[in-house]
Chain A
Amino acid sequence: MSERGETLSGPLAADGVLEREAAAAPGATSLPLVVLVGNPNVGKSVMFHNLTGRYVTVSNYPGTTVEVTSGQARIEGKRFEVVDTPGMYSLLPISDEERVARRILIEREPALVIHMVDAKNLERMLPLTLQLAELGHPLLVVLNMMDEAERVGLRIDAAGLSEAIGARVLEAVATSRRGMERVRAAILELAAGESSPALAAPQLATPLRYEQGIEAAIERVAERLPARWSRSRRGIALLLLQQGEEITRLLRETDPAAAASVEQLTAELERESRRSPTYAIASRRQDLCRGLCARFVAHPSAPHRGLADRLSELAISPWTGVPIVLAVLYLGLYRFVGTFGGGTVVGWLEKDLFGGIINPAFNALMLRLLPAQSGWQHWTRELVAGDYGVVTLGLTYAFAIVLPIVSLFFLFFSVLEDSGYFPRLAMLVDRLFKRIGLNGRAVIPLVLGVGCGTMATLVTRIQETKRERLLTTFLLALAVPCSAQFGVITGLLAKGRATVLGVSVAFLIWLGVVGLVFILAGRLASRLVPGEPAMFYMELPPLRWPRLGNVLVKTLARMKWYFAEILPLFVAASLFIWVGRLTGLFELLLSLFRPLVVGILGLPSAAAESFLYGFFRRDFGAAGLFTLAPQMSGVQLLVACVTLTLFMPCIAQFLVMRKERGWRASLAIAAIVFTVAFSVGALLSALLRSSGVTL
């Protein structure tokens, strides 16, 4: 335990020492306990200091490293013990801090719980208010940061809200002590037990009832709870049904039999419900909170609907939203990343700079330094220079082909991100994505997947259910090309002679085939993987002009991640190829691939190499394709592009898949992806060749 009192001075000193000793043993006092809870950053600690003054105790909560601050408040001569808890988002804890906050609520019997709320974000905070109300302790809700809420023009009907949730609601500005008098008076009234019985336990005007199955389970669990939780029966039963483990443990310590039967009930409920009880309960609360906010929060009447608002509406409504997204993708991906990046810039860097100047010069230098045609000099030279050298191949791929495309993509992505377009895109495609078992949230990983599938697989974490994450991971592995692939493919296919409206036909066929695979695979997978699509709803942040500084910072940060991640793999791949050629292993692998590539897909045998590279990284395979393109016909190029796009996720993506989804799922995905890629490639090849088209 450590003391954080300031030095004592003057006439206060004697009193201060007294208070200090009393506060040093939290819980030991028999004073009524007032617990401050709420989301992080809402002003709990400021309120705590307003109430307690200077002398407080900071201690680790027993058995944890989480610090809890406690102190005393004196209101009209009456003393209270006040505890400031770490921020928490809900009573279903994820972090240690949240766990401690919950334990304080459950293990110690508070005389009053003060829920501190950021008044600007009422809708997001109210679910916790409801959870606290269900716990049954006397509750005071403080709408803090009213100054900021007022500045944006929000008005909240505190009295109405108070009536609806059956608990006192007060407005305050903790930093300027506005509303403190009323808060102190409320503490005196509610925590000293002098309140009317109606106010003691929060009582919603219309009680919050859940689905029948859940209500029945609540009742049965509540019956088995020990007497000391009498006040919180319903609330604790709900917690047990949702994320029981920790509380079950608590229960087991005192009453093992009750714990066992509760566990059984929970398992039963899980099995019988159509959707997860946790989700059902949360969405029921969400709905109620939305209703409460609609009734009691007045938003500033939008006086000037500016250009941004109108654009925002256009972006969400399907009739205008779809053309907008097509235009954004056409300009951003096809024109900017594809034809400009993958065509113009790469052509210049790869052919002129690296192919024409850097690599020949480096090769000549190596030949001068290590002239022998056999022995160690030859092999060392082969390692760094020549057709497969770490420098000449690895660095050319990395800096001349992948770097420009990927940076242009991340630039494009960051512009969209900073403008606030993504949430609108998410709303727009939500309905569509429901058909493949996903929801609007999948937009981010899927669009990012066009940058780097590995990064996107990590980002699937923003999705709420395991099922969605699995489906998205699968689609990312199968039907979403990464930016290097996309750039190279667009750059190559855009050169096709046949065009429609300025877009190459070969590119359109590629897009059509990959899109079709995406939709069919998505539909099929969503049928096979059990579960329902999760609900998706989000408040929209304002649409705004992207700021150059933000965009650059985000682009740079992503590029840094990307290169830290891929450069080692590029070097490793070159080393592997070198060792493979030294030992003949490379040839062996190629001879396995060749029959597939030549026989089934009808491609030149050199293409087998790009497929082998593609296994290391998708972008590596794409880069290989770039150097190979001149040897192929239009049809062959298209078949190669389609197969490579659908082909096996690269090693990096596979490793991340394994890490995030486990061995079984990732091996299954790999097997499916591999089969689909070659089947579709073979089918397309047969179709195109039998129809005799040229592209």
Chain B
Amino acid sequence: MSDRALTTCGYCGHRFDVEEGRRSCHACSLVGGGCRSLRCPRCGYENPEEPRALGWLRRLFGREKERA
């Protein structure tokens, strides 16, 4: 079984698969690049996704902590 990242919808509280939310959000930015939203399969609310840089930082610190 693949391990999935789950996220909680900010509107209805449903927990769903990040990958699935990503798939169902259309590229809706005017300038391009997409809006990076996670669309909740239950209520349709588009939850903003953590910016890439932040996730990167988080992992960096996570690893730092592990080493310490």
Q: Establish whether residues A538 and B50, one from each chain, have CB atoms under 8 Å apart when the complex forms.
A: no
Q: Establish whether residues A553 and B17, one from each chain, have CB atoms under 8 Å apart when the complex forms.
A: no
Counted as pairs of residues, one from A and one from B, with CB atoms less than 8 Å apart, the total is 79
Q: Establish whether residues A458 and B35, one from each chain, have CB atoms under 8 Å apart when the complex forms.
A: yes
**Stretch from A265-273, A294-302, A355-363, A557-565 forming part of the interface with B:** A557-565
Q: Establish whether residues A95 and B30, one from each chain, have CB atoms under 8 Å apart when the complex forms.
A: no
Q: What chain B residues lie within 8 Å of A564 (beta carbons)?
A: 29, 31, 33
Known interface pairs A89-B41, A444-B45, A553-B54. Does A418 touch B10 (Cβ–Cβ under 8 Å)?
yes
Known interface pairs A462-B43, A558-B48. Does A539 touch B10 (Cβ–Cβ under 8 Å)?
no
Q: Establish whether residues A557 and B36, one from each chain, have CB atoms under 8 Å apart when the complex forms.
A: yes
Q: Establish whether residues A561 and B20, one from each chain, have CB atoms under 8 Å apart when the complex forms.
A: no
Known interface pairs A564-B31, A565-B29. Does A556 touch B54 (Cβ–Cβ under 8 Å)?
yes
Q: What chain A residues lie within 8 Å of B16 (beta carbons)?
A: 41
Once the chains are docked, how many angstroms separate the CA of A557 from the CA of B55? 11
Q: How far is the CB of B43 from chain A (nearest CB, A)?
A: 6
Identity of the chain A residue whose Cβ is nearest the Cβ of B11 in the assembled complex: A422
Q: Establish whether residues B31 and A40, one from each chain, have CB atoms under 8 Å apart when the complex forms.
A: no
Contact residue among B11, B12, B47, B48 (Cβ-Cβ distance under 8 Å from A561): B48
Q: What chain B residues lie within 8 Å of A542 (beta carbons)?
A: 13
Q: What chain B residues lie within 8 Å of A423 (beta carbons)?
A: 11-13
Q: Label chain B's interface by main secondary structure.
A: loop
Q: How far is the CB of B33 from chain A (nearest CB, A)?
A: 6
Q: What chain B residues lie within 8 Å of A656 (beta carbons)?
A: 30
Q: What chain B residues lie within 8 Å of A420 (beta carbons)?
A: 13
Once the chains are docked, how many angstroms separate the CA of A444 from the CA of B49? 17
Q: Establish whether residues B30 and A459, one from each chain, have CB atoms under 8 Å apart when the complex forms.
A: no
Give the interface size bracket for A toward B.
Answer: 35 or more
Contact residue among B10, B24, B45 (Cβ-Cβ distance under 8 Å from A95): B24
The B-contacting residues of A in range 367-417, CB under 8 angstroms, are 417
The B-contacting residues of A in range 628-658, CB under 8 angstroms, are 652, 655-656
Once the chains are docked, how many angstroms separate the CA of A95 from the CA of B10? 23
Once the chains are docked, how many angstroms separate the CA of A417 from the CA of B13? 10
Once the chains are docked, how many angstroms separate the CA of A655 from the CA of B29? 11
Q: Establish whether residues A41 and B17, one from each chain, have CB atoms under 8 Å apart when the complex forms.
A: yes
**Would you call A46 an interface residue if the criterion is a C-beta within 8 Å of the partner chain's C-beta atoms?**
yes
Q: Establish whether residues A46 and B44, one from each chain, have CB atoms under 8 Å apart when the complex forms.
A: no
Known interface pairs A420-B13, A538-B12. Does A556 touch B51 (Cβ–Cβ under 8 Å)?
yes
**Would you call B42 an interface residue if the criterion is a C-beta within 8 Å of the partner chain's C-beta atoms?**
yes
**Would you call A124 an interface residue if the criterion is a C-beta within 8 Å of the partner chain's C-beta atoms?**
yes
Known interface pairs A46-B1, A553-B50, A556-B51. Does A561 touch B35 (Cβ–Cβ under 8 Å)?
yes
Q: How far is the CB of B16 from chain A (nearest CB, A)?
A: 7
Q: Which 5 A-B pairs have the closest CB atoms?
A: A541-B13, A557-B48, A462-B44, A417-B10, A553-B50
Question: A422-B11, A553-B54, A561-B48 known; 9 other A-B pairs, CB under 8 Å?
Answer: A40-B17, A458-B35, A538-B12, A541-B14, A542-B13, A554-B48, A557-B48, A557-B49, A557-B51
Q: What is A's interface to B at a CB cutoff of 8 Å?
A: 40-41, 45-46, 89, 95, 124, 417-418, 420, 422-423, 444, 454, 458-459, 461-462, 538-542, 553-554, 556-558, 560-561, 564-565, 568, 652, 655-656, 659
Q: What is B's interface to A at a CB cutoff of 8 Å?
A: 1, 4, 9-14, 16-17, 20, 24, 28-31, 33, 35-36, 41-51, 54
- Residue pairs across A and B with Cβ atoms less than 8 A apart, 26 shown, are A40-B20, A41-B20, A45-B1, A46-B1, A89-B41, A124-B42, A417-B10, A417-B11, A418-B10, A423-B12, A458-B35, A459-B45, A461-B44, A462-B43, A540-B13, A541-B9, A541-B12, A541-B14, A553-B51, A556-B51, A557-B36, A557-B50, A561-B35, A564-B31, A652-B30, A656-B30
